[in-house]
Amino acid sequence: MYVSIEKEYVARIPPEKLSGDYLKAVSDVAKTSIEGRLIDLEEQNYQNQKAFIISVFLVEPVGEGTIVHGDGGVYQPIKYSALGYLPEMQE
């Protein structure tokens, strides 16, 4: 079964992507790091189940990113919406 997923994530934006459009960099990094992963679902209907992320279609930065000493990247909290596949028995 396909499900719509809304979750939060902290994306690391590498220094080489900071010179261009920041929102596009956040979206690109989020898509490459989230798509193709298995995640735990926390919604009440799907507790203790995992979903495979097929596509991320909405990425919104939340607040300001943080810079960690010794790391040139920016850690940006985001909210994202994605299409996921939730395997079920006898499907």
Alpha-carbon distance of 16 to 11, in angstroms, equals 15
pTM more than 0.85: no
Instruction: Give the dihedral of Cα atoms 38, 39, 40, 44; nearest 10 deg.
Output: -110
Q: Which residues contact 59 (CB under 8 A, 6 or more apart)?
A: 26, 27, 30, 31, 78, 79, 80
Spell out the domains of the chain, with CATH numbers in brackets. 2-85 (3.30.1490.120)
- Summarised one tens digit per residue, pLDDT across range 27-86 is 999 999 999 999 988 776 777 889 999 999 999 999 999 999 999 899 999 999 999 998
Residue with token string 């690109």: 28
Rounded CA gap, 9 and 79, in Å?
6
